[in-house]
Amino acid sequence: MFGIESLSGNAQAAAIVAAVIGEALVLNLVYTALERVAGPALTEAVTGS
Amino acid sequence: MDPTVITIFIGFGLLIGILFGFFGMGGSFLVTPALLVMGYGSQTAVGTGLAFVFGTSFIAALKHRDHGQVDYKLGGIMILGMTAGIEVGKTFVDALSELGFADTVVSIAYVLMLGAVGIFVLRDARSEDTDELHPVARMIQDFDVPPHISLTGGGEVSLWLTMAIALFVGVLSGFLGVGGGFLLMPAMMYGLGVPAAVAVGTDVFQITISGGFGAFRYAQAGNVALPVVASLLAGSTLGARVGSAATNIVDEGDIKGYFAAMLIGGSVAVAAKEIGTTYGIEVLSTVSIVLIFGSALLVAGAVIYTTISELRHEKAVAAAGD
């Protein structure tokens, strides 16, 4: 995935750990934005109006 | 990967993320057996599980930090003490392996440990007087040898006691071959008197560090399936947000009750699997898997249900006050 397999040993391990952190951070940003946009409406929907 | 498999992994990640964000545990405990069932090799299953736990706990730790629920000093001492303890625990297992009965002893210890901690936490959660400490917990907390360290959320505790508990949890963790999250959280709550939310936050911080190190070690040998980690993370990062936010809404006593239910479910599941393997009863292995995933699904559902109920209650109280 993304050429990580072509690396070897420590470089591959570091790239994988970095990829996991990168994906987690990007997802966190996306979900934070989503929470701001849709959060109040969703809370209102589940708690009843 | 097939789109259906990706969807399953995302949904599974969401479920695990809720449990992880709420309890600070339940990652590799659920992912590794699931990957084994799906046909991945044991090294890849463990490595992928660790990489996934690392990614999930990384974000969960950031969320707990935002809520002021991470005690870094306590977490650092726990990491040091546990690292030393894990080596001691592994030495026990190696000695048992040479004698030829490590698997059986570890499985029995796992069942007893999960069951005992589960029953202890359940009794505590059902206690009418929530301020009353268990005599064992009180005895441990009364150990007062200086120097002391201050705790996030108030109070201080003996440094020696903290290191002794970290070492003890590390020995058990190394002996059982698990991350130690399910042991560390109650050890901090009952042994050190750390508030539940801070215990979860500090536990998640410890898991992030140890998970990252473990993922790196397995990745060195190419034993991390990155597409699986990516799919699981897509669900779990969302679930972990929900779970950690729920710790601020749901009552502390309810948290303990759910935690106990998960542990007891896990204990019965491991016992069923061990009996099934020993006596060749295949149906018990299926029962074990159903128990692990069923209890996880039920507990995650209970967390969501209780959170929504609490939000509705708060809203009704606010409306009545207007």
CA B238 to chain A, closest CA, distance in angstroms equals 7
What gap in Å lies between CA A14 and CA B77, rounded to an integer?
26
Contact B263, B182 (CB under 8 A): yes
Share of chain B above pLDDT 90, in %: 6
Residue A27's pLDDT is 93
Q: Is the pLDDT of residue B218 over 80?
A: yes
Please indicate if any CB of chain B lies within 8 Å of the CB of A45: no
Q: At what angle do helices B159-176 and B102-126 cross, to 10 degrees?
A: 130
Tell me if A17 and B51 make a contact (CB, 8 A cut-off): yes
Residue B192's pLDDT is 82
CA A21 to chain B, closest CA, distance in angstroms equals 6
Contact B20, B236 (CB under 8 A): yes
Tell me if B54 and A20 make a contact (CB, 8 A cut-off): yes
Q: Is the pLDDT of residue B129 over 60?
A: no
Q: How confident is the model at residue B24 (pLDDT cuts 50, 70, 90)?
A: low
Q: Is the pLDDT of residue B244 over 80?
A: no
Of the residues B1, B213, B241, the best mutation for testing chain A's interface (the one with the most A CB atoms within 10 Å of its CB) is: B241
ipTM of the complex as predicted: 0.85
What gap in Å lies between CA B160 and CA B185, rounded to an integer?
18
Residues of chain B with Cβ-Cβ distance to A14 below 8 Å are: 216
The residue assigned the tokens 């963790």 is B173
In the predicted model, what is the mean pLDDT of chain B?
Answer: 81
- B216: closest chain A residue by CA: A13
Tell me if B55 and A28 make a contact (CB, 8 A cut-off): no
B149 DSSP β-pair partners:
B157
Please indicate if any CB of chain B lies within 8 Å of the CB of A48: yes
What gap in Å lies between CA B198 and CA B252, rounded to an integer?
11
CA distances from B172 to A34, B113, B146, B175, B208 (A): 41, 9, 26, 5, 19
Share of chain B above pLDDT 70, in %: 91
What gap in Å lies between CA B147 and CA B251, rounded to an integer?
33
Of the residues B57, B229, B307, the best mutation for testing chain A's interface (the one with the most A CB atoms within 10 Å of its CB) is: B229
Of B222, B234, B311, the CB nearest to A43: B311
Question: Once rounded to an integer, what is the mean pLDDT over residues B19-47?
Answer: 75
The dihedral region occupied by B224, where left means phi > 0, alpha psi between -120 and 50, and beta the remainder, is beta
CA B178 to chain centre: 10
Q: Is the dihedral of CA A32, B299, B46, B86 positive or negative?
A: positive
The residue assigned the tokens 């589960």 is B118
What gap in Å lies between CA B118 and CA B124, rounded to an integer?
10
Q: Is the pLDDT of residue B255 over 90?
A: no
CA A33 to chain B, closest CA, distance in angstroms equals 12
Residue, of B291 and B124, whose pLDDT is higher: B291
Residue B235's pLDDT is 93
Tell me if B220 and A13 make a contact (CB, 8 A cut-off): yes
Q: Is the dihedral of CA B190, B192, B106, B213 positive or negative?
A: positive
Residues of chain B with Cβ-Cβ distance to A10 below 8 Å are: 220
Say how many CA atoms lie within 13 Å of B308 toward its Cβ: 13
Q: pLDDT tens digit string along B262-321?
A: 778 888 887 887 788 778 888 888 888 888 778 888 888 888 888 888 888 888 888 887
Residue B42's pLDDT is 76
Q: pLDDT tens digit string along B76-121?
A: 998 888 888 888 887 887 788 788 777 778 778 878 877 887 887 7
Q: Is the pLDDT of residue B178 over 80?
A: no
Q: pLDDT tens digit string along A26-45?
A: 998 999 899 899 888 888 88
Residues of chain B with Cβ-Cβ distance to A5 below 8 Å are: 222
